A and B are shown apart, each in its own frame.
Chain A
Amino acid sequence: MTMTLLRHLAVAIVAGALVWAASVQLNAFRDYQIAEIAVYVVAIAGLSVLIGLSGQISLGNGAFMAIGAYATALLVIHLNWPVWAVFPASAAITAVAGGVVGIAAARLSGPYLAGATLLLAVALPSLALQWPGVFGGDQGLSIVVTAPARLGATFPLTRWQAWVCSLAALITLVLLANLVRSRVGRNWRAIRDDPVAAALTGLNVGRLRVLAFVVSATCAGLAGAMLTFTTTLVSPGSFTLSLSIALLTGAVLGGLGTLAGAIWGALVIVLVPTYVTDVATSHGLSSGVAANIPIAAYGVVLIVVMLLFPNGIQGGVRRLAGPLLPANLTRLASPDRQQPASEQAEGLASPDRRRPVSEHQEEGTK
């Protein structure tokens, strides 16, 4: 246990040093992108754990991001809290919301759960319009973020934002990595693979499902807080359905249930649209067309990845690099490496369930 923790910490420190080195070299816009990637890493990791490990789906994590983002703005504006206090507080507030939704969600499965969370993503931002006095309506709320004075007057703000967000993302990843390797993570995989068998062995399926939702929502809330800290603005327009879909795209693309996959997913989500738009504009396409090409590309990517590489980028990386790496290093990169044995066993027990063995996780339903 302690070995696992130490190993995760060591990787995180190396990653942190690399990010630090990159942030010092790069210009302000790239620093902003680092912060943005960190935001998406946290949000996607939370969603990936929920879908990949506990087998529940959420199309509403964008709504949880909105809760965290508004909590941050309100805490900063009204109470003037510093950033190190605001992030955990916003995450905690979102955790409570996640618990409430999770209790409702634990009874639902498959399309019902997807639909309820989808509606949550659509409905929640409308609260901001209903009470413009508190939430600023369409305009939203803006906060002031400054780099600490001791870094010097000329220190670029975006670099400070990149540092804070990367640190928050690394801490989250270490905590999540330990969680998925712990008993809780194993129990999640058990209820995902076969809820009935898991319940028979004494696991409280309902409670584990709610816990997964709480963890996922906490990550989303923290990501929302980081987003507010990075953009210094929070408005209902930032939390559309497309945000929730982008998170899902990132999680699927990177590889569900793997934390390294969340990093791949975040890189693609942040960098590819900017790149594609740049290329399209430089080839003389109108801005309307250029703006829509990344959207269409998202769609193609989602479909192609699902049809051809259902385990995502991380699945491909693992297949290529797996034999080259020491076994424990591979496990670190992907806590979910082994095919759960119960999957094959279940296939034997119920041949009428048409399920290919090689596929990744099934939602814990039926």
Chain B
Amino acid sequence: MNEFLQFTLGGVSFGMVYAAIGLSLVLIWRGTRILNYSQGAMAMLTTYIALTVITRTGSYWVGFGVALASGLVLGAVIERVVIRPVENKPPLNPVVVTIGLLVLIEGIAGIIYGGQYRSFPTAFSVTGLHAGSVPLGISRNDLFVAAAVLTAALALAALFRYTSAGLRLRAAAFNAYAARLLGVRVGRVLTLGWALAGLIGALAGLLVSPDTFLYPSSMDSIFVLGFTAAVIGGLDSPVGAIVGGLILGVTLNYAGGYLGSNLVPLFGLAALIAVLMIRPSGLFSASHSRQV
């Protein structure tokens, strides 16, 4: 029973990271119908920037802030420079371009920082917490991870609901053509969407890198699982991404804990296939599936 509790809470902590990546993918998908395969690589790059800043200044929080800011800028620049030309092209073109970005960013990181594994600091202590004498299997840092992602998600929700920028984002995602007629500068709105996604992705990179270590392809598997979380949730729904992340995190932690860590990716695949077989567009998707 103790074990079960530990696996569950530990899974929630991992799940929140997958949820953050999923959330950033949903942000971009809603606005542009593009799946950003380079999201993980972007997060890896901003985490390297954070590591450089932390080593120079000695302050975790300065690095944290710089990484989030650079995620914002990176997202906006990428959208403007390489995504804009393929935005209205057949779906395969942006897929290939973002995969190209993934490879390019990992190559650049390899050239600048080399391939060796680097450890990344945590914000808080990683000593396990206890409820009385029962070990909970989570640490202060795990609580911080969950809180940070939840805060980011709530901030995004507030942005979407209560600000005029949020209204424009929703309008452009709902119907770009009508939004443009009503005076929304859709291009800028899409850039904002990518920038926000870059920020959330950077957050995920900062939170997960103490566990995975940092190297050019360190975010690959995290990206794949974050993507799975978003697909489970339906790609259209921010809430779905978070729920999907939690489902996936907990499932994989049970699989890894009880059956051995080698099978974790396989269980991720099984979870994805199971969800997609029942609902081909994910759990929370509003759009209807094709009839063919």
Query: Which of B82, B108, B224 is A118 in contact with, Cβ under 8 Å?
Result: B224
Q: How many whole Å from A129's CB to the nearest CB in chain B?
A: 5
Which of the candidate stretches A32-40, A170-178, A180-188, A286-294 sits at the interface with the other chain?
A286-294
Which residues of chain A are within 8 angstroms of B282 by Cβ–Cβ distance? 112
Q: How many whole Å from A97's CB to the nearest CB in chain B?
A: 13
Query: Which of B95, B99, B221, B280 is A112 in contact with, Cβ under 8 Å?
Result: B280
Any B CB within 8 A of the CB of A96: no
Tell me if B231 and A295 are in contact (CB < 8 A): no
Find the B residue at minimum CB distance from A120.
B269
Which residues of chain A are within 8 angstroms of B85 by Cβ–Cβ distance? 307
Tell me if A119 and B224 are in contact (CB < 8 A): yes
Q: How many whole Å from B234's CB to the nearest CB in chain A?
A: 10
Which of the candidate stretches B69-77, B193-201, B258-266 sits at the interface with the other chain?
B258-266
Tell me if B110 and A291 are in contact (CB < 8 A): yes
Q: Whole-angstrom distance between the alpha carbons of A130 and B221 in the complex?
A: 18
Which residues of chain B are within 8 angstroms of A288 by Cβ–Cβ distance? 110-111, 114-115
Any B CB within 8 A of the CB of A57: yes
Q: Whole-angstrom distance between the alpha carbons of A143 and B89 in the complex?
A: 46
Residues of A347-366 whose CB lies within 8 A of B: 352, 354-356, 359-363, 365-366
Which of the candidate stretches A156-164, A296-304, A330-338 sits at the interface with the other chain?
A296-304
Any A CB within 8 A of the CB of B18: no
Query: Which of B177, B264, B273 is A116 in contact with, Cβ under 8 Å?
Result: B273
Which residues of chain B are within 8 angstroms of A252 by Cβ–Cβ distance? 96
Q: How many whole Å from A131's CB to the nearest CB in chain B?
A: 9
Any B CB within 8 A of the CB of A306: yes
Any B CB within 8 A of the CB of A123: yes
Tell me if B97 and A307 are in contact (CB < 8 A): yes
Query: What's the tally of chain B residues with a CB closer than 8 Å to chain A?
Result: 55
Tell me if B86 and A307 are in contact (CB < 8 A): yes
Q: A111-B35, A114-B95, A306-B93 are in contact. Are A296 and B231 (CB under 8 A)?
A: no
Tell me if A359 and B277 are in contact (CB < 8 A): no
What is the predominant secondary structure among interface residues of chain B facing chain A?
A: helix
Query: Which of B90, B103, B114 is A299 in contact with, Cβ under 8 Å?
Result: B103
Q: Whole-angstrom distance between the alpha carbons of A355 and B92 in the complex?
A: 12
Any B CB within 8 A of the CB of A19: no
Which residues of chain B are within 8 angstroms of A199 by Cβ–Cβ distance? 292
Query: Which of A122, A291, A303 is B224 in contact with, Cβ under 8 Å?
Result: A122
Residues of B98-113 whose CB lies within 8 A of A: 99-108, 110-111
User: Which residues of B come within 8 Å of A, CB atoms?
Assistant: 29, 35, 82, 85-86, 88-93, 95-97, 99-108, 110-111, 114-115, 177, 216, 220-221, 224, 227-228, 231, 235, 260, 262-266, 268-269, 272-273, 276-277, 280-282, 290-292
User: Which residues of A come within 8 Å of B, CB atoms?
Assistant: 51, 57, 59, 104, 107-112, 114-116, 118-120, 122-124, 126-127, 129-130, 195-196, 199, 205, 241-242, 245, 248-249, 252, 256, 288-289, 291-303, 306-307, 310, 352, 354-356, 359-363, 365-366
Not counting A242-B103, A362-B90, a sample of 14 additional A-B residue pairs whose C-beta atoms are within 8 angstroms of each other reads A112-B231, A115-B35, A126-B263, A126-B265, A130-B262, A196-B292, A199-B292, A252-B96, A295-B103, A297-B107, A303-B100, A354-B88, A355-B88, A363-B90
Q: List 20 A-B contacts (CB under 8 A).
A: A57-B92, A107-B280, A111-B235, A112-B231, A115-B228, A123-B269, A126-B265, A245-B99, A249-B100, A289-B110, A292-B107, A295-B106, A299-B101, A303-B97, A303-B104, A306-B97, A306-B100, A307-B97, A356-B89, A365-B290
Q: Which 8 A-B pairs have the closest CB atoms?
A: A299-B104, A296-B107, A302-B100, A292-B110, A295-B107, A299-B103, A362-B90, A123-B265
